[in-house]
Amino acid sequence: MITTQEFHVNLGPQHPSTHGVLKLNLVLDGEYIVDCEPVLGQLHRGMEKMAEGMHYGQFIPLTDRLDYLASAANNLAYVLAVEKLMGVEAPERAKYIRVIITELQRIASHLVAIGTWGLDLGAWTVMLYTFRDREMVLDLFEMYCGARLTLNCFRVGGTTYDFPPGFIEKLKEFLDVFPRRVDDYEALLTRNPIWLSRTKDVGVISAEDAVAYGLTGPNLRASGVNWDIRRVYPYEIYDRVEFDVPLGSRGDAFDRYMVRIQEMRQSCRIIKQALEQLPPGEVMLDLPTISLPDKRQFPNNFPAVVRHFHLLVQGYAPQEKEIYLGVENPKGELGFYIVSDGSAYPYRLKIRAPSFINLQILPKVLKGALLADVVCILASLDPVLGEVDR
């Protein structure tokens, strides 16, 4: 007597295409997915707890490790949240610098998303092309702050550095070259029949589901929901630049791909406008309560020395209140919910990680899909496990 039996496969955490240490417990019927259970937490580092033992300024480099493909964007989210808590605002030039760096980071993050997605579907070459162009962005970062991946370049009340000489020329060069490079990816993928057949009508997320599951970022916009925090609650200078919010219509993997491609073009547009409007001036707020004094006055200016030590040893204490601030990260809405008890350490710091919440819809989308679609859908949701597990 012949019976049929379901087939259990552990996809991950050691698998070529799970984008980190994600483990999926799959139940297969032939090649079709019957059930899927994501197992999270293999990269848990206790970020939120670590934040409770640190000054507000000390936690900035650790936010790099959330979504390590978009570290500057995480920095911005955290720094803006603390600024909101402290009730301060960065100088104009710092705001522009932050936006330029963050939009570059968005380009870099989407390049990785599309490149690894291509790799997951067997298009190796796309991945190497996108990484070549990401390298140009990383070079710009290295020029700006000295690090390539974990930037740690923004501070509460401004940024650490101004643009070095030669940076803007190099950035303009990149902005000239980059749209043509995007055309190349599109020539390789967008209308390629194999790519179309792999992504069209695969992993469809309806607008209702997307909202119900709390998706944000490109994944939400691909379902046709017009929600971009840069547009809805403009922060920094986003109300002063023109850009379109690319939307999808069907909510399938192909729409998520197209939204990302178009967002890269829009990011270029934002950077160009920001460069035109870039004002002169300071990049760091000169406020005795939060900003470090100029080191050039040491050691003769004794009050400055005392302030320096006081700020670093005691830290700055905000008022007793709770705030939430979300910004539009490449992956979605990254929010920091900070509860302050009036001391120099946060009482509680909750991170609303977009990848974690985007990943929750995975079991629902995967049901009935093919094994080959698992990697496609996973790549289209673009989770970063550093952020999922925190």
Partner 1 sequence: MSLWQLLYEPDRWADEINKLITNWGLQLGIPVFITQLFLMIVVAVILLSFILLNVAFLTWLERKVAGHIQVRHGPMRTGPHGILQPVADGIKLLFKESITLPFVDNFIYTLSPAMMFTAAMLTYIVLPFAPGWVVAPLDYGLIFVFAAGGVSSFFVFTAGWSSNNKYSLLAGMRTIAQVISYEIPMILAALGVALFAGSLNLVEIVEAQKGLWNIVVQPLGFLLFLTAALGETHRAPFDLLEAEQELVAGYMTEYSGMRFALFYLGEYTHMFAAAALMTTLYLGGWQGPYLPPVVWFLLKAYALVLLIMWFRWTYPRIRIDHLMNFSWKFILPLALINLGVTALVLVW
Partner 2 sequence: MALGLKDIGLAMELIRGIGVTVRHFFQPTVTIHYPKQRREPYPRFRGLVRWDKEKCAACVLCAHYCPVKAIQIVTGEGKEGQKEVLYYQIDAARCMYCGLCSEICPVGALSHSPYYELAVYERQDAVYAQERLAGEPPIIRYR
Residues that bind partner 1 (CB under 8 A): 7-9, 15-17, 30-31, 118-125, 128-129, 132, 188-189, 192, 194-195, 197-198, 370-375
- List phi, psi (to 5°) of 225: -90, 120
Question: How far apart are CB 200 and partner 2 at their closest, in Å?
Answer: 4
125 or 206: CB nearest partner 2: 125
Nearest CA-CA partner of 388 in 99, 66, 123, 156: 66
| Partner that binds at residue 122, options partner 2, partner 1, none, CB closer than 5 to 8 Å by kind | partner 1
* Positions in the binding site for partner 2 (CB under 8 A): 54-55, 58-62, 64, 125, 129, 132, 135, 139, 142-147, 150, 152, 160-161, 164, 184, 187-188, 191-193, 196-197, 200-201, 292, 295, 298-299, 305, 308-309, 312-313
The full length of the chain comes to: 390
Question: How far apart are CB 120 and partner 1 at their closest, in Å?
Answer: 5
CA pair distance 47, 359, nearest whole angstrom:
19
Characterize 56-85 residue by residue with b for buried, 16 or more Cβ atoms within 10 angstroms of its Cβ, and e for exposed. Answer: bbebbebbbbbbbbbbbbbbbbbbbbbbbb
| Partner that binds at residue 191, options partner 1, partner 2, none, CB closer than 5 to 8 Å by kind | partner 2
Nearest CA-CA partner of 222 in 262, 200, 249: 249
Question: How far apart are CB 115 and partner 1 at their closest, in Å?
Answer: 11
80 or 253: CB nearest partner 1: 253
123 or 151: CB nearest partner 1: 123
| Partner that binds at residue 374, options partner 2, partner 1, none, CB closer than 5 to 8 Å by kind | partner 1
Q: Which residue has the tokens 């992993």?
A: 203
Question: How far apart are CB 147 and partner 1 at their closest, in Å?
Answer: 24
Residue 109, CA distances (Å) to 8, 83, 120, 161, 191 in order: 33, 25, 16, 22, 23
Q: In the 8-state DSSP scheme, what is residue 239?
A: G
* Residue 176 CB neighbour total at 10 angstroms: 10
- DSSP labels, 179-205: HHHHHHHHHHTTT-HHHHHHHTTSS--
CA pair distance 340, 347, nearest whole angstrom:
5
14 or 300: CB nearest partner 1: 14
10 or 314: CB nearest partner 2: 314
| Partner that binds at residue 261, options partner 1, partner 2, none, CB closer than 5 to 8 Å by kind | none
Question: How far apart are CB 119 and partner 1 at their closest, in Å?
Answer: 7
- DSSP labels, 292-313: PPPGGGTTT-HHHHHHHHHHHH
184 or 209: CB nearest partner 1: 184
168 or 372: CB nearest partner 1: 372
Both tokens assigned to 128: 């190497």
